[in-house]
Structure formats: C-alpha cells, structure tokens
Amino acid sequence: MAKNKSYNRAYVILIAAIAAFGGLLFGFDTGVISGALLLIKDDPALVINGMEQLPERTQEWIVSITVLGAAVGALGSGRITDKLGRKKVLIIIAFVFALGSVGLAAANSVAALIIWRLIIGLAIGVASYTVPLYISEISPTHVRGALVSINQLAITVGIFASYLVDLGFANYPEGWRWMFLVGLVPSLILFIGMFFLPDTPRWLMSFKGEDKARKVLDRVGETNKEEVLQQIKTNIEKETRQQQSSWSILTAKWVRPTLIIGVGIMIFQQFVGINTIIYYSPTIFEMAGFGADSANAVYDAILPSLPIGAVNVIFTIVSIYLVDRWGRKPLLYLGMIGMVVALVALGIGFTFHDSIGGALKWISFVSMIIYIPFFAISLGPIAWLLISEVYPTKIRGLGMSLATMVNWAANFLIANTFLSLGKVTTGQMANPAGEGMLVNPGGAFFIYAAIGILGLIFVYSYIPETKGHSLEKIEEHFLAGKHPKDL
Ligand code: BGC
C-alpha cells in the first residue's frame, strides 16, 4: 500500500514537472529579451538607414509585443482549452514555442523579429493559465497547492536561466540568435513529454465520460476516488441545470465572486510593480549609481540581475513548502506586508537621494533584494494557484483565461508606464554615474506601495482560504451563494 502511494506521488510530481516546462518557457521567453535587446539594438544586420542603433520606439515594440500577444493569446483560447482539452492545447503551444524559437533565431529584419515575438507571446498567454489549470485538475487535494506552485517555480527558473543564457552569449556579436534558440530545448521537452501524459479527470468527466476520468484518478492515486468522482458529477449536473452555455455561466450571479477574485488578485499581482524589478533592474541599478563604464558594458548590465533571479527561485521553493501547511492567506499577508515595506524604502531612497548620497546604491539594492522573496512566497505563486482553484469545472478554462488576460494587460500597463510615472511624480535626477539626467522612479514605488496596502485589504476581505478543500467543495461553496471569505 505504502509503495503504491509513493509510486503515485512520483507519477503526479512527474506530471507536474513536465507540464511546468510550459511555465519555464513563460519565464525564459519573457526574461531573455532583457539581454538579447542590448545586442539586437546594435546589430548592423537589423539597423536601418545608416542609423547607429534601433530607435527606442522600435526597441519598445520588440519587448512589449510579447506581453500584448500573451494578453490576446490568453483571452482567445479559453474556450479552446475547455473544448479540446488541456493536454492537446499544451501540445499545440509546445509546437508554437519551438517554431517561435527557431523563427526568432533566424530573423533577418525588425519586422520578422516583431512577428515572431508576437507568436511567442500568444503561446506564453495560453501556457500561463493552461499549465496551472492542468496541474490543479490532476492533483490530489492535499498537495494541490504545492504542485500547482511548481509552475511558478518553473517561471522563476526560466527567468533565471534566461539571465544566465544572456550572460553566456553576451560577448558574441550575433549572440542574441543563440539566446533565442536555447528556448527550443524546453519546447521539445514539453512537446514530447505531453504525449505521454493523460488529460485531467475533471475535463474527462465533463467531456469524455466517467470511465476515462476514473482511470486517471486511479493512476494518480487519489485516495477518495469515488467521492471525488461523485462530487465532480454532481457539480456538473448542478452547473448544467443552472445555465446552459459557458458564456452564460460566466455571467451567473453565483459565479461573479470567482471572477472578482481572479481578476482582483491578478491586478494586484502586477500593480505592486513586480515587473519593474524583473524587466528594469539594470536600469534601476544605473539610476541608483552602479557605474557601467567598462569594456564589457552588456555583460555588466546583465550581471546584477543574477542575484535577483536566484533569490526569486529560492523563495518560490520556500513558498511551495509552506503553501499547503500555512495556507494561502497567511503567506499573502506576510509577503504583501514585506513588499510594501521594501517599496516604501525604495521610494524614500530615491525621493531623498540628495541627502542620502552614495548610500542610495545600497538602499536600492537591499530593498530590491528584500522585495523579491516577499513576492516569491506570496503573490507570485498564489495568484496563479487561486485562479486554478476558484472557478467551476465547466468554465475553469474560460475563467482562468479571462483572469490571465487581465494579468498580461496589467503587466503591459505597468511595464509601459514605470518611467513616465516616476517622471510625473518625482521628476528627474542627475545621473549618478556621469553626465545627463535620469528619471527619478521614487514616486512610482510609493504608488505601488499604496496599491499593495489596498491589496492587503482585498485579500483580508474577499479571498477564500482554499487550503485543504477539494475543487468540488470550493465549487459547492460558491454554488450555494456563500461569501468567498466564509469558505
Ligand atoms: C508573474 C510574472 C513575473 C514573475 C516573476 C509571475 O507570477 O505573473 O509577471 O514576471 O512571476 O517571478
């Protein structure tokens, strides 16, 4: 019996680990551009009309088209994930990721780069919710939080790996082609691996019948198999009685709280400014006075991101350990309080940079290094986890795709306004490393801190504690029209 149980555990972890390659690609392909861009903008094969560098607007498009693509991909594919099944969708996007990696590596014009970055973005958008959805639906209840969070771990490993790959190819003139091509490896692992994995019992029950669902529950070793099967069946019947089509379920009164939870938690995940740190850390370090006048400027600009990437990975592991022990809400409280404190410290540092002088360098570095672990134990994994838990089975794909679209749209908004927000609120400051002026980002950090406080109130008053409840129990709670917090 014990042997059987541990075999199943190994099987479930294997399933989560293979599917999480989708998360790794999400992290890798959003992270890789930070280093690749430094080479792309100076590549004579791409620079047009005798200009020295690609114009800034063009650079911005190369970076941000992927985030826009992800928003579109997420929203456009919700119904497909419910219709085709989670497994098939993951196989298709693995193929798109592979194609995109080769396409980017071979791109010979700015237009080609932008088109391939858009295609990769579409795949990221779909992957970003289909992976947690797949893992959540296939996991036994008591380890669901940890298993779904493997996806966030993979995202952070992907980001960290992209920094390392960027560093490795930084000194090659066309190194950016290799940086993109490395993405082919995880794409192929996902593509091949998914062929051997089953679809989820929840999806199978909804669309392919009870026998197939039972078989998968058997293989993953769900201890309350018959009870879970019965609950899935009852909920699907109740859902069908309530409303016929998926879109109308989405507007049903009992589903509304789940939409507010999903959209709300995603807005807060992005509006606390995580990606100003992930995408702009070299820029922020420059503002804080880390000098960059050396022969290896590209290398030097990528290097300081490494500790940020590493801390992000390490504390995501801590979160995986704690999420099914402490629960989701205590981690959210702890993480968000820590983030607010770090953001306020960053805001104060930059706003009073005149009186602080050289210490700003260290205040900013320490604050950022503190901010990241608090994000990594809380909003990072738990936002994705919650949206994989709160929606009813029939529209789980659709609901998650909606929340994910909001996540990417919010990401786009923050990444695109970080510098302007700083400029409007705290103006400019002298470049600590030399001549000229730089934006002072202090005001932006204060705004993110204020949003963090609102987020804490939202978590306290609206987020359910889902720890230890089966997906069916959670659904029953909403079907009964009860307040989310009372779960
Ligand atoms: C977020 C991303 C972010 C990453 C950082 C994810 O949960 O959705 O926007 O870049 O965490 O680790």
Which ligand 1 atom minimizes the distance to the CA of 407?
8
| Residue 152, ligand 1, Cβ within 6 A | yes
- 319 CB near ligand 1 (under 6 Å): no
Residue that has been written with the tokens 């080609």 in this structure: 112
Q: Which residues of the chain have pLDDT under 50?
A: 1-6, 292
Task: Give the whole-angstrom CA distance, residue 225 versus residue 229.
Answer: 6
Task: Please give the Cα distance from 59 to 68 (Å, whole number).
Answer: 15
Task: Please choose from 156, 274, 280, 308 the residue to mutate so as to test ligand 1's pocket, defined by most ligand atoms within 8 A of CB.
Answer: 274
pTM reported for the whole predicted model: 0.89
Residue 34 beta carbon below 6 angstroms from any ligand 1 atom:
no
* Nearest residue (CA) to ligand 1, atom 7: 380
Predicted pLDDT at 43: 87
Give the pLDDT confidence score for residue 3 in this predicted structure.
40
Ligand 1 atom at shortest distance from the alpha carbon of 30: 10
Note whether 390 and 265 are within 8 A (CB). no
Phi and psi for 238 in degrees, rounded to 5? -65, -45
Rounded to the nearest 10°, the torsion over CA 228, 231, 236, 237 is 140
Per-residue pLDDT at 245: 55
Atom in ligand 1 nearest the alpha carbon of residue 383: 7
- The two three-digit tokens of residue 111, written as one number: 């237009």
CATH number for the domain running over 9-486? 1.20.1250.20
Task: List the residue whose alpha carbon is closest to atom 8 of ligand 1.
Answer: 380
- Residue 269 Cα to ligand 1 midpoint, Å, equals 8
Pocket test for ligand 1, best of 26, 150, 275 (most atoms within 8 A of CB): 275
279 Cα distance to chain centroid: 13
Q: Output the pLDDT for position 4.
A: 42
**Cβ–Cβ under 8 Å, residues 88 and 122:** no
Ligand 1, atom 10: closest residue by C-alpha = 275
* 275 CB near ligand 1 (under 6 Å): yes
Among 451, 361, 376, 378, which Cα is nearest to 414's? Answer: 451
